[in-house]
Amino acid sequence: MTDFCFDTGIVVDTLSGHRLAVAELRRAKRPWISRITWLEVMAEVPAAARDETEQFLAHFAIREVSPEIARRAATLKAERPSLSLPAALVFASAQEHGAILVTRNSTDFPPHIPGIRVPYT
């Protein structure tokens, strides 16, 4: 069974009720996010929606940043300097756990890269 790691853009779109994002989330049997995605979402959520957003995020399994993920992210960043550190960490998390990264960020993650799913842009 394939795990799906959802990046920040997909999670934010789901919170906004974006139809395609919601459909992607429903496809996953075991959805999870990186702790980096959790941080990015919670750092930007308005105070009035903080509790509701945290409850929504609790439906995801959360993968912490391990030393192996950090090393892999450093390598990805060195290979592609334009890649942001959060994006490198999220992709490294997906790779380390053998998951497909579901993203709408086709600039950093073209769909032809193995392990990437871009359901919409």
Quick: pLDDT tens for 71-101: 999 999 999 999 999 999 999 999 999 999 9
Six token digits for residue 5: 């790691």
- Which has the closest alpha carbon to 39: 73, 86, 103? 86
Residues whose CB falls within 8 Å of the CB of residue 116, separated by 6 or more in sequence, listed in order: 100, 101, 103, 109, 110
Number of domains in the chain: 1
17-73: per-residue pLDDT in tens?
A: 999 999 999 999 889 999 999 999 999 999 999 999 999 999 999 999 999 999 999
Q: Global pTM?
A: 0.93
Beta bridge partners of 101: 5, 116
Alpha carbons within 13 A on the beta-carbon side of 89: 18
Q: Would you say 72 and 95 are in contact if contact means Cβ atoms under 8 Å apart?
A: yes
CATH of residue 23's domain is 3.40.50.1010
Domain that holds residue 40: 4-117
